[in-house]
């Protein structure tokens, strides 16, 4: 079997195939794979589809919330509860938007993954509209997370190039051939 997977846009490199120079591979992005690197294999169409899909999901979520608010009106819970629910959804959506947007720009610090972050996940789940809107807005600019992945890939490529150019030739070629001996290093006698 081959390491290549066939996608609608053409062959895609598998995890073990590596680029031609043997360097690091770009990390795939959801819905985009690695087409974000060279903007090929339907990149523009994928961005348009992601933007449209996230916008439609946001609208569907808003319709569901409208039904929930109608349920509150039918239950005659009073204006205070309605205002508190609306404010809660608005704050949670704003927090979710900010956190999702920041996730496209920088990786979360693994040392700061505390219990407070895990407990905030339920607030972010309530604010799903904010996450979907952040995904929509970012897909208008680029593939969500492309800037972060591009910077990490460029850094990995430059590290790889530095390591590769730091090597001087083939160390195996410096071995003596056919029993020939080289001079001992200065200061050492045999």
Q: Which of 9-18, 39-48, 167-176 has the lowest mean pLDDT?
A: 9-18
Confidence of residue 161 (pLDDT cuts 50, 70, 90): confident
Q: What is the pTM of this model?
A: 0.70
Query: In angstroms, what CA-CA distances link 66 with 9, 30, 44, 177?
Result: 39, 30, 33, 82
Q: Is the dihedral of CA 38, 157, 165, 13 positive or negative?
A: negative
Least confident of 23-37, 46-60, 80-94, 105-119: 105-119
pLDDT per residue as tens digits for the range 46-93: 999 999 999 999 999 999 999 988 998 898 888 899 899 999 999 999
Residue 111 has pLDDT above 90, yes or no: no
Residue pair 150/36 in contact by the 8 Å Cβ criterion? yes
Q: How confident is the model at residue 172 (pLDDT cuts 50, 70, 90)?
A: low
Q: How many CA atoms lie within 13 A of 14 on its CB side?
A: 8
Mean pLDDT across the chain = 80
Note the pLDDT of residue 96: 92
Residue 177 pLDDT: 58
Task: Give me the pLDDT at residue 17, please.
Answer: 41
Comparing 24 with 5, which gets the higher pLDDT? 24
Q: What string of H, E and C letters represents the secondary structure of the chain? A: CCCCEEECCEEECCCCCCCCCCCCCCCCECCCECCCCCCCCCHHHHHHHHHHHHHHHHHHHHHHHHHHHHHHHHCCCCHHHHHHHHHHHHHHHHHHHHHHHHHHHCCCCHHHCCHHHHHCHHHHHHCHHHHHHHHHHHHHHCCCCHHHHHHHHHHHHHHHHHHHHHCCCCHHHHCCCCCCCCCCCCCCCC
Better-scored residue on pLDDT, 188 or 130:
130
Closest CA to 143 of 45, 41, 36, 37: 36
Q: What's the pLDDT at 16?
A: 41
């Amino acid at each position: 079997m081959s390491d290549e997977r066939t996608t609608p846009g053409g062959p895609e490199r598998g995890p073990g195939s590596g680029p031609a120079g043997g360097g690091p591979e770009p990390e795939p992005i959801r819905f985009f794979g690695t087409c974000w690197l060279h903007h090929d294999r339907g990149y523009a169409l994928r961005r348009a589809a992601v933007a449209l899909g996230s916008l439609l999901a946001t609208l569907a979520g808003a319709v569901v919330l409208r039904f929930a608010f109608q349920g509150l009106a039918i239950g005659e819970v009073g204006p205070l509860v309605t205002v508190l629910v609306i404010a809660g959804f608005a704050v949670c959506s704003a927090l979710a938007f900010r956190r999702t947007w920041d996730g496209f720009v920088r990786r979360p610090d693994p040392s700061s993954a505390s219990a407070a972050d895990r407990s905030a996940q339920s607030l972010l789940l309530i604010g799903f509209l904010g996450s979907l809107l952040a995904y929509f807005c970012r897909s208008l600019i680029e593939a969500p997370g492309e800037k972060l992945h591009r910077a990490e890939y460029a850094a990995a490529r430059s590290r790889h190039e530095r390591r590769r150019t730091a090597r001087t030739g083939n160390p195996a070629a410096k071995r003596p051939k056919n029993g020939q001996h080289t001079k001992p290093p200065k200061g050492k006698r045999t």
